[in-house]
Amino acid sequence: MEVTVKTAQSLRLTEEEFNLIKQKLGRTPNFTELCTFSAMWSEHCSYKNSIKWLKTLPREGGRMLVKAGEENAGLMDIGDGYGVVFKIESHNHPSAIEPFQGAATGVGGIHRDIFTMGARPIASLNSLRFGNLEDKKTQHLLAGVVHGISHYGNCFGVPTVGGEIYFDECYHTNPLVNAMSVGIVKVGKTVSATATGKGNPVLYVGSATGKDGIGGASFASAEITKESTDELPAVQVGDPFQEKKLLEACLEVIETGVVVGMQDMGAAGIICSTAEMSAKGEAGMYIDLDKVPMRQKNMKAWEILLSESQERMLLVVEEGREKEARKVFDKWDLENEVIGYVTDDGLLSFYMNGELEARIPAYELVLGGGAPQYERELRRPAYLDETEGFDIASVNEPTDLKAVAEQLIQLPSIANKRWVYQQYDSMVGTVNASTNAPADAAIILVKETGKGLAVTVDCNSRYVYADPYKGAMIAVAEAARNIVCSGGVPLGVTNCLNFGNPYDPEVYYQFTQAVQGMGEACRKFDTPVTGGNVSFYNQGPEGAVFPTPTIGMVGLVEDLSNKMTLDFKAEGDEIFLIGNSPNDISSSQYLSKICGVKLSPAPHFEIEEEYALQQTISSLISLGLIQSAHDISEGGLFTTLLESAFHRELGFNVKASDTIIRRDAWLFGEGQSRVVVSVNAQQVSSFKEVMQKAGVPFSFLGKVTATEVIIDENNWGAIAGWKEKYDTAIEKHLTKELESEGALTMI
């Protein structure tokens, strides 16, 4: 068929890009070649509208062993000859169309990124965003996504140890499904995603290639519309049991020493893995597409190249030793075929039925090579003027604070997410050290060293919408704070940057500001960015989602006896607030959901205050001077106190220590850099001595009680009643229709 500009545009390439392709090839591409450029130059694969800004993020320092972008995931040193490999990615668009498979294959894909480097995944987390929970569509999406995550993760045998879920109307059409995987590897035993050595065989391993997922990378690089359901074949189908076999076989074949390079066939499938491996090794490949295992007849060359069928790996092995590799895969009953060999001409040559279907320079296809890089127009959004004009005096302080508190803790973004997390297997693998008591971050045991890892995902997107720069800083700071409050030392960051259409100047402004804010915070906390994912075009007819730069962070707990939990331990323990309480309700759940004020600034945050706070918390934990630590986030001080009390069903008696700030700000404000700690009465003097030397503000709140919740000398009832409201709020929102849709019911 004749290839024209219209053909290119139908494949989501611009006229400018079509002309650039012709220039790079020195001719007009055929249809198969154009399809490969469409996939590889999509936003999802090339980061063409983001890479210039991503390069400004700190990518070295600390315990980094592999810099961002060098491999499929970041690698950091945790001592004793081991490294931690971790990454977070999005599967937003597929999950919006087919929530079960979209979420399931997101989990499978991120785990493959970990074990393709030779690491064994030991934990997973997720960050989810949905619309109004009372909406039936939201309930359908929530049920499908959670079922997909639990199905794949539980069957694959890696525990889901943490995560976050928010509900806001802006995610009605386009939910966000971000999955994170954490793995362990011996230093020096990693495998690179590279192709080197002329004549070395190229080995295809895993599931057969089908038509599911064709064009998935391009599909993820466009807005969701009413017609998006017509593109259902772009959603992949996963098989966790096949992936489990693939994991074990890949780790075993690495031990044979025959592997030169390995990469999973994720977004853009075979064309992506062949192109990226070849470009990295400054090599080329000869590929016979007839030898690719296929589960559907009469597939065309471009369909084979672009299919995103799951559970597939591409390996380059040493020439003459391919039988050793194939023996391992045969043992695990995995289909495997030598489909080509490495060349030294830098070209990807694809043949089918003895005919040349495509010949493309690998370098020209890939990020960091010939893929285009853009810097789009940006414009400060007009709504920020209204945001900055917010005056707290315009909000009347409620007379019945208890009634407000009851409403607040039942908001879906604050209430207990047990309906979700009870569907996840959090204990398989016996590495989860947080099962008996809650902590601000999940603690997982590294069996090989006896150390622990503290892992978390964090982002309050309402803060980022209110102030993209400060909001992104807060996301990094909260992740670090959660790790510190759990007894860990922050190591590094992986990020999943979820934004709207980059061609919208206001969206691009949000993106650039958020990246800069993230970079400043990462430098301050010495948490370099190891890698991640950019997901643009997250919007529907009603507009873009809130800018959501999700932060995945890993920290090290050198001595697991020093891990800290968030629960109050005993009646009579004294409760202290570390940090200042500002007269601030900005961007809080209280202000936005209870008071109905949608536009206000981000909450109070000063990075130097935050850094000093975290250093102080670390000292208190190492000195054994506190019984619990829980940071203040969504819902403010009152929610933090309740969450600290729920686990042992203890109460608390607290009183505001000043009359300067409003009581609603004191109880429900979300000003940052604050932590609630409990202290044994016998250690209070030592605690105060350390705090005074640190110079970090702190105040006495009150004491832990047997059962009652007392605020400013007013008895608000027994903790059991509050726990009931908090625990059952989400379940009460959900309808019985979920069961008819195949959702898992709560245990």
Please tell me the distance from the alpha carbon of residue 66 to that of residue 77, in angstroms, as a whole number.
Answer: 10
What DSSP character marks residue 681? G
Give the H or E element holding residue 665: helix 663-668
Distance of CA 109 to the CA centre of its chain: 13
Please tell me the distance from the alpha carbon of residue 468 to that of residue 519, in angstroms, as a whole number.
Answer: 12
- Cβ atoms 554, 89 nearer than 8 A: no
Catalytic residue, chosen from 91, 111, 147, 172, is 91
Catalytic residue, chosen from 44, 147, 630, 733, is 44
Would the CA dihedral through 292, 297, 299, 305 be positive or negative?
A: negative
C-alpha closest to that of 459 among 470, 474, 447: 474
Please tell me the distance from the alpha carbon of residue 290 to that of residue 351, in angstroms, as a whole number.
Answer: 8
CA angle 117, 123, 124 (to 5 degrees): 95
R_g of the chain, CA atoms, integer Å: 26
C-alpha neighbours within 13 Å on the C-beta side of residue 166: 25
CA angle 465, 466, 472 (to 5 degrees): 65
Please enumerate in sequence order all residues whose Cβ is within 8 A of that of 705, keeping only pairs 6 or more positions apart, or say none. 571, 650, 651, 652, 653
C-alpha closest to that of 265 among 203, 327, 175: 203
Please tell me the distance from the alpha carbon of residue 420 to that of residue 746, in angstroms, as a whole number.
Answer: 8
Please tell me the distance from the alpha carbon of residue 690 to that of residue 703, in angstroms, as a whole number.
Answer: 20
CB atoms within 10 A of CB 245: 17
CB atoms within 10 A of CB 599: 18
Q: How far apart are the first and last CA of the chain?
A: 56
Helix (H, G, I), strand (E, B) or coil at 118: coil
Would the CA dihedral through 142, 145, 148, 150 be positive or negative?
A: negative
Q: What is the dihedral of CA 292, 296, 299, 303, to 10 degrees?
A: -80
93 is annotated as an active-site residue: no
Please tell me the distance from the alpha carbon of residue 351 to that of residue 340, in angstroms, as a whole number.
Answer: 10
Would the CA dihedral through 213, 215, 218, 223 be positive or negative?
A: negative
604 is annotated as an active-site residue: no
CB atoms within 10 A of CB 335: 15
Tokens 């592999």 belong to residue: 66
Please tell me the distance from the alpha carbon of residue 323 to that of residue 538, in angstroms, as a whole number.
Answer: 46
Q: Pull the structure tokens for residue 596.
A: 């109905």
Please enumerate in sequence order all residues whose Cβ is within 8 A of that of 652, keeping only pairs 6 or more positions apart, or say none. 568, 575, 641, 644, 645, 701, 702, 703, 704, 705, 709, 710
712-746 burial by CB neighbour count: b if 16+ within 10 A, else e?
A: eeeebebbeebbebbeebbeebbeeebeeeebbee
Q: Where are the beta strands (DSSP E) in 295-378?
A: 312-317, 336-343, 347-352, 355-361
CB atoms within 10 A of CB 685: 9
- Cβ atoms 455, 114 nearer than 8 A: no
Residues noted as catalytic? 44, 91
